[in-house]
Structure 1
Amino acid sequence: MTGTSVLQIDGLAVRYPTRGFRKPPTTVIEDVSFEVGRAETVALVGESGSGKTTIGRAVLGLTPVSGGRVVLDGRDITHLTGRARRLLSSDLQAIFQNPYGSLNPALPVGRTLAEPLLSGSTRSRHEVREHISELLRRVGLPEDAADRYPAQFSGGQRQRVAIARAVARQPKLIICDEPTSALDVTTQAAALELLSELQDTLGCAYLFITHDLAVVKEFAARTLVLQHGRIVEEGRSTDVCDRPQHAYTQRLVAAAPVPDPIAQRNRRDQRLAVEATS
Protein backbone atom coordinates (compact mmCIF):
# COMPACT_ATOMS: atom_id res chain seq x y z
CA MET A 1 0.00 0.00 0.00
CA THR A 2 1.25 3.48 -0.79
CA GLY A 3 1.89 5.92 2.02
CA THR A 4 -0.70 8.30 0.62
CA SER A 5 -3.56 5.78 0.89
CA VAL A 6 -6.06 5.90 3.71
CA LEU A 7 -7.96 2.83 2.48
CA GLN A 8 -6.77 -0.25 0.64
CA ILE A 9 -9.11 -2.97 -0.58
CA ASP A 10 -7.13 -6.03 -1.66
CA GLY A 11 -8.84 -9.00 -3.34
CA LEU A 12 -12.11 -8.42 -1.49
CA ALA A 13 -14.70 -11.19 -1.70
CA VAL A 14 -18.15 -11.39 -0.11
CA ARG A 15 -20.19 -14.57 -0.40
CA TYR A 16 -23.49 -15.47 1.24
CA PRO A 17 -24.55 -19.03 2.04
CA THR A 18 -27.33 -20.42 -0.14
CA ARG A 19 -30.21 -22.49 1.18
CA GLY A 20 -30.31 -26.02 -0.09
CA PHE A 21 -28.22 -29.16 0.12
CA ARG A 22 -24.68 -28.65 -1.18
CA LYS A 23 -25.58 -25.50 -3.08
CA PRO A 24 -22.58 -23.20 -3.55
CA PRO A 25 -22.63 -19.80 -1.82
CA THR A 26 -23.84 -16.75 -3.71
CA THR A 27 -20.96 -14.49 -4.70
CA VAL A 28 -21.76 -10.78 -4.29
CA ILE A 29 -18.21 -9.37 -4.51
CA GLU A 30 -15.28 -11.14 -6.14
CA ASP A 31 -11.61 -10.08 -6.28
CA VAL A 32 -12.13 -6.32 -5.89
CA SER A 33 -9.01 -4.23 -5.29
CA PHE A 34 -8.54 -0.46 -5.14
CA GLU A 35 -7.18 2.34 -2.96
CA VAL A 36 -8.49 5.66 -1.68
CA GLY A 37 -5.91 8.37 -1.12
CA ARG A 38 -5.90 10.83 1.73
CA ALA A 39 -8.39 13.65 1.15
CA GLU A 40 -9.43 11.96 -2.11
CA THR A 41 -12.95 11.17 -3.34
CA VAL A 42 -13.36 7.83 -5.09
CA ALA A 43 -16.77 6.87 -6.47
CA LEU A 44 -18.24 3.38 -6.75
CA VAL A 45 -20.83 3.34 -9.53
CA GLY A 46 -23.18 0.64 -10.73
CA GLU A 47 -26.78 -0.40 -11.05
CA SER A 48 -28.76 -1.79 -8.14
CA GLY A 49 -27.32 -5.18 -7.21
CA SER A 50 -23.87 -4.44 -8.64
CA GLY A 51 -22.26 -4.78 -5.20
CA LYS A 52 -21.25 -1.19 -4.51
CA THR A 53 -23.17 -0.89 -1.21
CA THR A 54 -21.84 -4.30 -0.11
CA ILE A 55 -18.29 -2.97 -0.45
CA GLY A 56 -19.15 0.01 1.76
CA ARG A 57 -20.75 -2.28 4.34
CA ALA A 58 -17.68 -4.55 4.29
CA VAL A 59 -15.43 -1.59 5.07
CA LEU A 60 -17.75 -0.57 7.92
CA GLY A 61 -17.82 -4.10 9.32
CA LEU A 62 -21.54 -4.50 8.66
CA THR A 63 -21.03 -7.36 6.19
CA PRO A 64 -18.75 -10.38 6.81
CA VAL A 65 -15.77 -10.58 4.46
CA SER A 66 -15.17 -13.97 2.81
CA GLY A 67 -11.77 -13.21 1.35
CA GLY A 68 -9.21 -10.49 0.83
CA ARG A 69 -8.28 -7.59 3.10
CA VAL A 70 -9.59 -4.20 4.16
CA VAL A 71 -6.79 -1.93 5.40
CA LEU A 72 -7.52 1.45 6.99
CA ASP A 73 -4.60 3.82 7.45
CA GLY A 74 -2.15 0.92 7.50
CA ARG A 75 -4.20 -1.28 9.86
CA ASP A 76 -5.92 -4.49 8.79
CA ILE A 77 -9.56 -4.10 9.90
CA THR A 78 -10.99 -6.96 7.84
CA HIS A 79 -12.29 -9.03 10.71
CA LEU A 80 -12.42 -6.58 13.60
CA THR A 81 -15.43 -6.95 15.88
CA GLY A 82 -16.77 -5.61 19.17
CA ARG A 83 -14.79 -2.95 21.01
CA ALA A 84 -11.95 -2.95 18.48
CA ARG A 85 -14.42 -2.09 15.73
CA ARG A 86 -16.11 0.62 17.82
CA LEU A 87 -12.75 2.27 18.48
CA LEU A 88 -12.47 2.90 14.74
CA SER A 89 -15.22 5.53 14.93
CA SER A 90 -12.67 8.31 15.25
CA ASP A 91 -11.14 7.32 11.89
CA LEU A 92 -14.09 5.83 9.98
CA GLN A 93 -17.64 7.18 9.65
CA ALA A 94 -20.61 6.85 7.30
CA ILE A 95 -23.37 8.95 5.75
CA PHE A 96 -26.37 6.94 4.56
CA GLN A 97 -29.09 7.53 1.99
CA ASN A 98 -31.98 8.10 4.40
CA PRO A 99 -31.03 10.75 6.96
CA TYR A 100 -34.25 10.31 8.94
CA GLY A 101 -33.64 6.58 9.28
CA SER A 102 -30.06 7.16 10.46
CA LEU A 103 -31.05 9.65 13.20
CA ASN A 104 -32.77 8.72 16.45
CA PRO A 105 -36.19 10.45 16.25
CA ALA A 106 -36.49 10.42 20.06
CA LEU A 107 -33.32 12.48 20.61
CA PRO A 108 -32.79 16.18 19.93
CA VAL A 109 -30.02 16.89 17.45
CA GLY A 110 -27.69 18.15 20.17
CA ARG A 111 -27.82 14.78 21.94
CA THR A 112 -27.20 12.96 18.66
CA LEU A 113 -24.11 15.06 17.95
CA ALA A 114 -22.88 14.78 21.52
CA GLU A 115 -22.67 10.96 21.46
CA PRO A 116 -19.60 10.63 19.19
CA LEU A 117 -17.93 13.59 20.92
CA LEU A 118 -18.33 12.10 24.41
CA SER A 119 -17.30 8.57 23.39
CA GLY A 120 -13.79 7.94 24.71
CA SER A 121 -13.26 11.66 25.23
CA THR A 122 -12.03 13.77 28.12
CA ARG A 123 -13.94 16.85 26.93
CA SER A 124 -16.12 18.63 29.45
CA ARG A 125 -19.82 19.05 28.67
CA HIS A 126 -19.21 22.77 28.11
CA GLU A 127 -16.54 21.93 25.50
CA VAL A 128 -18.91 19.47 23.85
CA ARG A 129 -21.66 22.11 23.65
CA GLU A 130 -19.20 24.53 22.06
CA HIS A 131 -18.13 21.89 19.58
CA ILE A 132 -21.78 21.12 18.70
CA SER A 133 -22.43 24.81 18.05
CA GLU A 134 -19.38 24.89 15.76
CA LEU A 135 -20.52 21.74 13.93
CA LEU A 136 -23.98 23.18 13.31
CA ARG A 137 -22.48 26.42 12.04
CA ARG A 138 -20.12 24.51 9.78
CA VAL A 139 -22.95 22.57 8.10
CA GLY A 140 -25.14 25.66 7.73
CA LEU A 141 -27.66 25.09 10.53
CA PRO A 142 -28.63 27.57 13.26
CA GLU A 143 -27.33 27.02 16.79
CA ASP A 144 -30.85 26.43 18.15
CA ALA A 145 -31.07 23.36 15.89
CA ALA A 146 -29.43 21.47 18.77
CA ASP A 147 -32.71 21.61 20.70
CA ARG A 148 -34.91 20.40 17.83
CA TYR A 149 -35.84 16.85 16.83
CA PRO A 150 -35.21 15.21 13.41
CA ALA A 151 -38.91 15.42 12.45
CA GLN A 152 -38.71 19.21 12.71
CA PHE A 153 -36.21 19.46 9.83
CA SER A 154 -36.52 19.14 6.07
CA GLY A 155 -34.82 16.24 4.28
CA GLY A 156 -31.89 18.42 3.27
CA GLN A 157 -31.47 19.74 6.81
CA ARG A 158 -31.57 16.23 8.25
CA GLN A 159 -28.83 15.20 5.87
CA ARG A 160 -26.78 18.17 7.11
CA VAL A 161 -27.24 16.84 10.65
CA ALA A 162 -26.07 13.41 9.50
CA ILE A 163 -23.03 15.01 7.85
CA ALA A 164 -22.27 16.95 11.04
CA ARG A 165 -22.33 13.73 13.05
CA ALA A 166 -20.05 11.99 10.54
CA VAL A 167 -17.39 14.72 10.69
CA ALA A 168 -17.69 15.36 14.45
CA ARG A 169 -14.50 13.44 15.29
CA GLN A 170 -12.69 14.44 12.08
CA PRO A 171 -12.37 10.91 10.64
CA LYS A 172 -9.85 10.00 7.99
CA LEU A 173 -12.47 8.27 5.80
CA ILE A 174 -16.23 8.66 5.35
CA ILE A 175 -18.32 6.08 3.49
CA CYS A 176 -21.02 8.02 1.63
CA ASP A 177 -23.75 5.56 0.59
CA GLU A 178 -26.09 7.34 -1.85
CA PRO A 179 -26.11 10.40 0.46
CA THR A 180 -27.89 12.69 -2.03
CA SER A 181 -30.21 10.33 -3.91
CA ALA A 182 -33.22 11.13 -1.69
CA LEU A 183 -32.80 14.90 -2.19
CA ASP A 184 -34.13 17.19 -4.90
CA VAL A 185 -31.65 18.62 -7.41
CA THR A 186 -31.13 21.97 -5.64
CA THR A 187 -30.73 20.40 -2.20
CA GLN A 188 -28.45 17.75 -3.68
CA ALA A 189 -26.13 20.39 -5.12
CA ALA A 190 -25.97 22.19 -1.77
CA ALA A 191 -25.13 18.94 0.06
CA LEU A 192 -22.33 18.12 -2.40
CA GLU A 193 -20.93 21.62 -2.05
CA LEU A 194 -20.95 21.20 1.74
CA LEU A 195 -19.13 17.85 1.48
CA SER A 196 -16.49 19.47 -0.74
CA GLU A 197 -15.99 22.35 1.68
CA LEU A 198 -15.63 19.95 4.63
CA GLN A 199 -13.11 17.88 2.72
CA ASP A 200 -11.04 20.98 1.99
CA THR A 201 -11.19 22.01 5.65
CA LEU A 202 -10.79 18.67 7.41
CA GLY A 203 -8.80 16.66 4.87
CA CYS A 204 -11.08 13.62 5.03
CA ALA A 205 -11.41 11.10 2.19
CA TYR A 206 -14.72 9.92 0.73
CA LEU A 207 -15.71 6.55 -0.68
CA PHE A 208 -18.77 7.79 -2.56
CA ILE A 209 -21.33 5.13 -3.50
CA THR A 210 -23.86 6.20 -6.12
CA HIS A 211 -25.70 5.29 -9.31
CA ASP A 212 -25.68 8.91 -10.54
CA LEU A 213 -22.94 9.51 -13.10
CA ALA A 214 -23.77 13.23 -13.30
CA VAL A 215 -22.83 13.55 -9.62
CA VAL A 216 -19.71 11.45 -10.08
CA LYS A 217 -18.28 13.58 -12.86
CA GLU A 218 -18.47 16.77 -10.81
CA PHE A 219 -17.66 15.40 -7.36
CA ALA A 220 -15.25 12.45 -7.51
CA ALA A 221 -11.64 12.46 -8.66
CA ARG A 222 -11.71 8.79 -9.66
CA THR A 223 -14.52 6.39 -10.49
CA LEU A 224 -14.77 2.60 -10.29
CA VAL A 225 -17.59 0.93 -12.22
CA LEU A 226 -18.98 -2.30 -10.78
CA GLN A 227 -20.95 -4.99 -12.57
CA HIS A 228 -21.95 -8.25 -10.91
CA GLY A 229 -19.53 -7.68 -8.04
CA ARG A 230 -16.45 -6.96 -10.16
CA ILE A 231 -14.74 -3.77 -11.28
CA VAL A 232 -15.13 -3.52 -15.05
CA GLU A 233 -13.70 -0.01 -15.54
CA GLU A 234 -11.80 2.55 -13.49
CA GLY A 235 -10.08 5.85 -14.06
CA ARG A 236 -10.44 9.58 -13.72
CA SER A 237 -14.11 10.47 -13.43
CA THR A 238 -14.03 12.77 -16.45
CA ASP A 239 -12.53 9.98 -18.58
CA VAL A 240 -14.99 7.35 -17.35
CA CYS A 241 -18.00 9.64 -17.90
CA ASP A 242 -16.94 11.25 -21.19
CA ARG A 243 -15.03 8.39 -22.81
CA PRO A 244 -16.29 5.11 -21.31
CA GLN A 245 -14.45 2.05 -22.60
CA HIS A 246 -16.48 -0.89 -21.27
CA ALA A 247 -19.87 -1.66 -22.84
CA TYR A 248 -21.53 -1.69 -19.42
CA THR A 249 -20.20 1.78 -18.60
CA GLN A 250 -21.31 2.99 -22.01
CA ARG A 251 -24.84 1.81 -21.23
CA LEU A 252 -24.79 3.59 -17.87
CA VAL A 253 -23.61 6.84 -19.47
CA ALA A 254 -26.17 6.58 -22.27
CA ALA A 255 -28.97 5.98 -19.74
CA ALA A 256 -28.07 8.98 -17.58
CA PRO A 257 -30.71 11.75 -17.96
CA VAL A 258 -29.74 15.22 -19.16
CA PRO A 259 -31.87 18.41 -19.06
CA ASP A 260 -31.56 19.23 -22.78
CA PRO A 261 -34.33 17.32 -24.68
CA ILE A 262 -32.25 17.12 -27.87
CA ALA A 263 -29.25 15.80 -25.99
CA GLN A 264 -31.56 13.40 -24.14
CA ARG A 265 -32.86 12.06 -27.46
CA ASN A 266 -29.30 11.61 -28.69
CA ARG A 267 -28.49 9.76 -25.46
CA ARG A 268 -31.46 7.46 -26.02
CA ASP A 269 -30.37 6.71 -29.59
CA GLN A 270 -26.83 6.08 -28.34
CA ARG A 271 -28.11 3.71 -25.67
CA LEU A 272 -30.19 1.74 -28.19
CA ALA A 273 -27.17 1.49 -30.48
CA VAL A 274 -24.97 0.20 -27.65
CA GLU A 275 -27.61 -2.34 -26.59
CA ALA A 276 -27.98 -3.54 -30.17
CA THR A 277 -24.27 -4.33 -30.44
CA SER A 278 -23.77 -5.84 -26.95
Structure 2
Amino acid sequence: MMGTPVLQIDGLAVRYPGRGFRKPPTTVIEEVSFEVGRAETVALVGESGSGKTTIGRAVLGLTPVSGGRVLLDGRDITRLTGRARRLLAPDLQAIFQNPYGSLNPALPVGRTLAEPLLAGSSRPPGEVRQDIAELLRRVGLPEDAADRYPAQFSGGQRQRIAIARAVARKPKLIICDEPTSALDVTTQAAALSLLSELQSTLGCAYLFITHDLAVVKEFADRTLVLQNGRIVEEGDSVDVCDRPRHEYTRRLVAAAPVPDPDLQRQRREQRSLQLSSGS
Protein backbone atom coordinates (compact mmCIF):
# COMPACT_ATOMS: atom_id res chain seq x y z
CA MET A 1 0.00 0.00 0.00
CA MET A 2 1.76 3.10 -1.29
CA GLY A 3 1.30 6.64 0.07
CA THR A 4 -1.41 7.83 2.42
CA PRO A 5 -4.35 5.40 2.57
CA VAL A 6 -7.62 6.87 1.33
CA LEU A 7 -9.32 5.60 4.52
CA GLN A 8 -7.84 5.00 7.96
CA ILE A 9 -9.89 3.61 10.84
CA ASP A 10 -8.02 3.91 14.12
CA GLY A 11 -9.44 2.33 17.29
CA LEU A 12 -13.04 2.93 16.23
CA ALA A 13 -15.69 2.39 18.89
CA VAL A 14 -19.47 2.80 18.64
CA ARG A 15 -21.61 2.45 21.74
CA TYR A 16 -25.31 3.15 22.10
CA PRO A 17 -26.74 4.46 25.41
CA GLY A 18 -28.51 1.86 27.53
CA ARG A 19 -32.28 1.94 27.64
CA GLY A 20 -33.94 2.19 31.00
CA PHE A 21 -32.69 3.06 34.47
CA ARG A 22 -28.94 2.47 34.89
CA LYS A 23 -28.72 0.22 31.85
CA PRO A 24 -25.13 0.01 30.60
CA PRO A 25 -24.36 1.16 27.04
CA THR A 26 -24.44 -1.37 24.23
CA THR A 27 -21.11 -1.79 22.45
CA VAL A 28 -21.54 -2.33 18.71
CA ILE A 29 -17.96 -1.67 17.57
CA GLU A 30 -14.90 -1.98 19.80
CA GLU A 31 -11.31 -1.04 18.92
CA VAL A 32 -11.53 -1.62 15.17
CA SER A 33 -8.55 -0.47 13.10
CA PHE A 34 -7.79 -0.94 9.40
CA GLU A 35 -6.89 0.93 6.22
CA VAL A 36 -8.13 1.09 2.64
CA GLY A 37 -5.55 1.97 0.01
CA ARG A 38 -6.15 3.96 -3.14
CA ALA A 39 -8.05 2.02 -5.80
CA GLU A 40 -8.27 -0.92 -3.38
CA THR A 41 -11.34 -2.96 -2.47
CA VAL A 42 -11.57 -4.01 1.16
CA ALA A 43 -14.52 -6.17 2.22
CA LEU A 44 -16.17 -6.25 5.63
CA VAL A 45 -17.94 -9.57 6.19
CA GLY A 46 -19.83 -11.07 9.09
CA GLU A 47 -23.24 -12.22 10.20
CA SER A 48 -26.12 -9.83 10.73
CA GLY A 49 -25.36 -7.76 13.83
CA SER A 50 -21.58 -8.18 13.53
CA GLY A 51 -21.13 -4.41 13.12
CA LYS A 52 -20.09 -4.17 9.47
CA THR A 53 -22.85 -1.75 8.43
CA THR A 54 -22.25 0.34 11.55
CA ILE A 55 -18.66 0.89 10.44
CA GLY A 56 -19.84 2.10 7.05
CA ARG A 57 -22.35 4.43 8.66
CA ALA A 58 -19.66 5.78 10.99
CA VAL A 59 -17.45 6.63 8.00
CA LEU A 60 -20.39 8.39 6.34
CA GLY A 61 -21.22 10.34 9.51
CA LEU A 62 -24.60 8.63 9.89
CA THR A 63 -23.72 7.01 13.22
CA PRO A 64 -22.09 8.84 16.18
CA VAL A 65 -18.59 7.62 17.03
CA SER A 66 -17.81 6.93 20.70
CA GLY A 67 -14.06 6.56 20.34
CA GLY A 68 -11.22 6.36 17.86
CA ARG A 69 -10.77 8.21 14.59
CA VAL A 70 -11.87 8.09 10.96
CA LEU A 71 -9.44 9.70 8.49
CA LEU A 72 -10.24 10.35 4.84
CA ASP A 73 -7.15 11.01 2.74
CA GLY A 74 -5.26 11.86 5.95
CA ARG A 75 -7.92 14.27 7.26
CA ASP A 76 -9.78 13.55 10.49
CA ILE A 77 -13.51 13.45 9.61
CA THR A 78 -14.66 11.61 12.74
CA ARG A 79 -17.00 14.25 14.09
CA LEU A 80 -17.68 16.53 11.14
CA THR A 81 -21.27 17.71 10.84
CA GLY A 82 -23.37 20.06 8.75
CA ARG A 83 -21.65 21.94 5.95
CA ALA A 84 -18.21 20.48 6.74
CA ARG A 85 -19.63 16.98 6.27
CA ARG A 86 -21.41 17.95 3.03
CA LEU A 87 -18.15 19.31 1.62
CA LEU A 88 -16.80 15.73 1.69
CA ALA A 89 -19.27 14.69 -1.04
CA PRO A 90 -16.78 14.96 -3.94
CA ASP A 91 -14.45 12.48 -2.19
CA LEU A 92 -16.85 10.21 -0.28
CA GLN A 93 -19.98 8.53 -1.67
CA ALA A 94 -22.17 5.51 -0.92
CA ILE A 95 -24.14 2.80 -2.71
CA PHE A 96 -26.84 1.16 -0.59
CA GLN A 97 -28.63 -2.18 -0.70
CA ASN A 98 -32.02 -0.96 -1.90
CA PRO A 99 -31.60 1.16 -5.05
CA TYR A 100 -35.29 2.07 -5.17
CA GLY A 101 -35.21 3.37 -1.61
CA SER A 102 -32.08 5.44 -2.29
CA LEU A 103 -33.51 7.15 -5.41
CA ASN A 104 -36.17 9.85 -5.25
CA PRO A 105 -39.19 8.31 -7.05
CA ALA A 106 -40.58 11.77 -7.83
CA LEU A 107 -37.55 12.86 -9.85
CA PRO A 108 -36.55 11.69 -13.33
CA VAL A 109 -33.16 10.03 -13.47
CA GLY A 110 -31.60 13.04 -15.18
CA ARG A 111 -32.53 15.30 -12.26
CA THR A 112 -31.11 12.77 -9.79
CA LEU A 113 -27.80 12.64 -11.64
CA ALA A 114 -27.70 16.41 -12.12
CA GLU A 115 -27.77 17.12 -8.37
CA PRO A 116 -24.18 16.00 -7.60
CA LEU A 117 -22.92 17.52 -10.85
CA LEU A 118 -24.42 20.92 -10.04
CA ALA A 119 -23.53 20.99 -6.34
CA GLY A 120 -21.45 24.10 -5.65
CA SER A 121 -21.12 25.00 -9.33
CA SER A 122 -22.77 27.17 -11.98
CA ARG A 123 -22.14 24.99 -15.00
CA PRO A 124 -24.12 25.58 -18.21
CA PRO A 125 -27.11 23.22 -18.69
CA GLY A 126 -25.74 21.84 -21.97
CA GLU A 127 -22.52 20.73 -20.32
CA VAL A 128 -24.42 19.04 -17.49
CA ARG A 129 -26.64 17.19 -19.98
CA GLN A 130 -23.55 15.89 -21.73
CA ASP A 131 -22.12 14.66 -18.42
CA ILE A 132 -25.41 12.91 -17.57
CA ALA A 133 -25.41 11.17 -20.96
CA GLU A 134 -21.81 10.07 -20.36
CA LEU A 135 -22.66 8.74 -16.87
CA LEU A 136 -25.57 6.72 -18.26
CA ARG A 137 -23.39 5.34 -21.05
CA ARG A 138 -20.70 4.43 -18.53
CA VAL A 139 -23.12 2.32 -16.48
CA GLY A 140 -24.69 0.69 -19.54
CA LEU A 141 -27.96 2.64 -19.81
CA PRO A 142 -29.33 4.54 -22.83
CA GLU A 143 -29.25 8.33 -22.94
CA ASP A 144 -33.06 8.56 -22.90
CA ALA A 145 -33.05 6.96 -19.42
CA ALA A 146 -32.52 10.50 -18.14
CA ASP A 147 -36.18 11.32 -18.90
CA ARG A 148 -37.64 8.30 -17.11
CA TYR A 149 -38.46 7.68 -13.43
CA PRO A 150 -36.97 5.03 -11.10
CA ALA A 151 -40.17 2.95 -11.10
CA GLN A 152 -39.75 2.41 -14.85
CA PHE A 153 -36.52 0.45 -14.37
CA SER A 154 -35.69 -3.04 -13.12
CA GLY A 155 -33.84 -3.55 -9.83
CA GLY A 156 -30.54 -4.07 -11.62
CA GLN A 157 -31.04 -0.94 -13.73
CA ARG A 158 -31.91 1.10 -10.64
CA GLN A 159 -28.71 -0.05 -9.00
CA ARG A 160 -26.81 1.09 -12.10
CA ILE A 161 -28.43 4.51 -11.68
CA ALA A 162 -27.37 4.57 -8.02
CA ILE A 163 -23.83 3.65 -9.08
CA ALA A 164 -23.84 6.43 -11.69
CA ARG A 165 -24.85 8.94 -9.04
CA ALA A 166 -22.11 7.70 -6.69
CA VAL A 167 -19.34 8.07 -9.29
CA ALA A 168 -20.62 11.34 -10.78
CA ARG A 169 -17.97 13.44 -9.00
CA LYS A 170 -15.20 10.85 -9.23
CA PRO A 171 -14.90 10.18 -5.47
CA LYS A 172 -11.84 8.72 -3.82
CA LEU A 173 -13.86 6.28 -1.69
CA ILE A 174 -17.27 4.64 -2.10
CA ILE A 175 -18.98 2.81 0.77
CA CYS A 176 -20.80 -0.14 -0.81
CA ASP A 177 -23.34 -1.46 1.73
CA GLU A 178 -24.67 -4.81 0.45
CA PRO A 179 -25.03 -3.29 -3.05
CA THR A 180 -25.75 -6.61 -4.79
CA SER A 181 -27.65 -8.60 -2.14
CA ALA A 182 -31.08 -7.64 -3.56
CA LEU A 183 -30.13 -8.75 -7.09
CA ASP A 184 -30.36 -12.14 -8.76
CA VAL A 185 -27.13 -13.98 -9.56
CA THR A 186 -26.87 -12.83 -13.18
CA THR A 187 -27.65 -9.20 -12.38
CA GLN A 188 -25.30 -9.34 -9.40
CA ALA A 189 -22.42 -10.49 -11.61
CA ALA A 190 -23.11 -7.66 -14.06
CA ALA A 191 -23.15 -5.07 -11.25
CA LEU A 192 -19.83 -6.34 -9.84
CA SER A 193 -18.28 -6.28 -13.30
CA LEU A 194 -19.43 -2.66 -13.67
CA LEU A 195 -17.95 -1.71 -10.29
CA SER A 196 -14.63 -3.31 -11.25
CA GLU A 197 -14.59 -1.47 -14.57
CA LEU A 198 -15.35 1.86 -12.92
CA GLN A 199 -12.63 1.29 -10.35
CA SER A 200 -10.10 0.66 -13.12
CA THR A 201 -11.22 3.79 -14.96
CA LEU A 202 -11.69 6.21 -12.06
CA GLY A 203 -9.22 4.85 -9.50
CA CYS A 204 -11.74 4.91 -6.65
CA ALA A 205 -11.49 2.68 -3.56
CA TYR A 206 -14.33 0.55 -2.22
CA LEU A 207 -15.23 -0.37 1.34
CA PHE A 208 -17.45 -3.31 0.42
CA ILE A 209 -19.88 -4.46 3.12
CA THR A 210 -21.42 -7.88 2.51
CA HIS A 211 -22.31 -11.25 3.97
CA ASP A 212 -21.59 -13.07 0.71
CA LEU A 213 -18.18 -14.77 0.83
CA ALA A 214 -18.49 -15.94 -2.78
CA VAL A 215 -18.65 -12.30 -3.87
CA VAL A 216 -15.77 -11.36 -1.55
CA LYS A 217 -13.43 -14.00 -2.96
CA GLU A 218 -13.91 -12.78 -6.53
CA PHE A 219 -14.25 -9.05 -5.98
CA ALA A 220 -12.28 -7.82 -2.95
CA ASP A 221 -8.51 -7.44 -2.62
CA ARG A 222 -8.55 -7.89 1.16
CA THR A 223 -11.19 -9.12 3.58
CA LEU A 224 -11.84 -8.27 7.23
CA VAL A 225 -14.07 -10.64 9.20
CA LEU A 226 -16.13 -9.11 12.00
CA GLN A 227 -17.66 -10.89 14.96
CA ASN A 228 -19.46 -9.01 17.72
CA GLY A 229 -17.95 -5.69 16.68
CA ARG A 230 -14.33 -6.85 16.50
CA ILE A 231 -12.08 -7.95 13.65
CA VAL A 232 -11.24 -11.62 14.19
CA GLU A 233 -9.46 -12.27 10.89
CA GLU A 234 -8.07 -10.27 7.99
CA GLY A 235 -5.98 -10.92 4.94
CA ASP A 236 -5.97 -11.53 1.21
CA SER A 237 -9.53 -12.42 0.17
CA VAL A 238 -8.62 -15.72 -1.46
CA ASP A 239 -6.64 -16.78 1.62
CA VAL A 240 -9.45 -15.82 3.99
CA CYS A 241 -12.05 -17.71 1.94
CA ASP A 242 -9.97 -20.78 1.05
CA ARG A 243 -7.75 -21.08 4.14
CA PRO A 244 -9.62 -19.45 7.04
CA ARG A 245 -7.71 -19.42 10.32
CA HIS A 246 -10.37 -18.34 12.81
CA GLU A 247 -13.13 -20.73 13.83
CA TYR A 248 -15.78 -18.06 13.19
CA THR A 249 -14.52 -17.54 9.64
CA ARG A 250 -14.53 -21.30 9.06
CA ARG A 251 -18.19 -21.38 10.12
CA LEU A 252 -19.03 -18.55 7.71
CA VAL A 253 -17.27 -20.35 4.86
CA ALA A 254 -19.03 -23.62 5.69
CA ALA A 255 -22.42 -21.88 5.75
CA ALA A 256 -21.92 -20.06 2.46
CA PRO A 257 -24.09 -21.45 -0.38
CA VAL A 258 -22.38 -23.13 -3.31
CA PRO A 259 -23.72 -23.57 -6.87
CA ASP A 260 -23.38 -27.39 -6.82
CA PRO A 261 -26.63 -28.75 -5.23
CA ASP A 262 -25.05 -32.12 -4.34
CA LEU A 263 -22.13 -30.43 -2.58
CA GLN A 264 -24.53 -28.06 -0.83
CA ARG A 265 -26.60 -31.01 0.42
CA GLN A 266 -23.47 -32.80 1.68
CA ARG A 267 -22.42 -29.68 3.58
CA ARG A 268 -25.86 -29.38 5.20
CA GLU A 269 -25.73 -33.03 6.27
CA GLN A 270 -22.23 -32.57 7.66
CA ARG A 271 -23.30 -29.53 9.70
CA SER A 272 -26.30 -31.45 11.02
CA LEU A 273 -24.06 -34.31 12.16
CA GLN A 274 -21.69 -31.83 13.85
CA LEU A 275 -24.59 -30.17 15.69
CA SER A 276 -26.09 -33.49 16.80
CA SER A 277 -22.71 -34.69 18.10
CA GLY A 278 -22.11 -31.43 19.94
CA SER A 279 -18.87 -30.73 18.09
Deviation at 1:198, TM superposition (A): 0.1
Conserved? CA contact 1:250–1:274, under 8 Å: no
Distance 2:278 2:200 in 1: 43
8 Å Cα contact 1:99-1:162 kept in structure 2: yes
Counterparts of 1:102-121 in structure 2, within 5 Å, are: 102-121=102-121
Query: For residue 268 of structure 1, what is the aligned residue in structure 2?
Result: 268
Cα separation, 1, equivalents of 2:93 and 2:18: 31
Matched, 1:51 2:51: yes
Q: For the residues of structure 2 that align with 1:102 and 1:125, how far apart are their CA atoms? A: 25
Find out whether 1:237 has 2:229 as its counterpart.
Answer: no
Deviation at 1:274, TM superposition (A): 6.5
Provide the residue aligned with 1:248 in structure 2.
248
Give how far 1:268 is off.
Answer: 2.7
Q: Which residue of 2 aligns with 1:19?
A: 19
**Corresponding residue of 2:97:** 97
| Contact residue 4 and residue 73 of structure 2 kept, 8 A | no
Shift in Å at residue 262 of structure 1? 2.7
CA displacement at 1:122 relative to structure 2? 3.7
Question: How high is the TM-score relative to the length of structure 2?
Answer: 0.96
Distance in 1 (CA, whole Å) between partners of 2:261 and 2:19 is 48
Q: Distance in 2 between matches of 1:193 and 1:122?
A: 34
Q: Deviations over 1:94-141 (max 9, x none)?
A: 000000000000000000000000001242211111000000000000
Cα distance in structure 2, aligned partners of 1:116 and 1:36: 24
Q: Is the 8 A contact 2:44 2:210 kept in 1?
A: yes
Question: What CA distance in whole angstroms lies between the structure 2 residues aligned with 1:269 and 1:88?
Answer: 50
State the partner residue of 1:173: 173
Return the alpha-carbon distance in structure 1 between the equivalents of residues 259 and 223 of structure 2.
23
Q: Name structure 1 gaps, 5 residues minimum.
A: none
Q: Percent identity?
A: 87
Q: Following TM superposition, by how much is the alpha carbon of 1:150 offset from its aligned partner in structure 2, in angstroms?
A: 0.2
Q: Is the 8 A contact 1:6 1:73 kept in 2?
A: yes
Change (3 A) 1:169 1:269: same
Distance 2:207 2:6 in 1: 11
Partner SS state of residue 162, structure 1: helix
What SS is found at the alignment partner of 1:5? Answer: coil
Report how far residue 21 of structure 1 moved.
Answer: 1.9
1:70-100 CA-to-partner distances (Å, cap 9, x unmatched) read: 0000100000000000000000000000000
SS in 1 for 2:180: coil
- Asked if the contact 2:177–2:210 (Cα under 8 Å) also holds between the matched residues in 1, the reply is yes
Measure the CA separation in 1 of the matches of 2:269 and 2:169: 48
1:123 aligned partner, one-letter code: R
SS at match of 2:258: coil
**Which residue in 1 is equivalent to 2:65?**
65
Q: Between 259-268 and 189-198, report the one with greater CA deviation.
A: 259-268
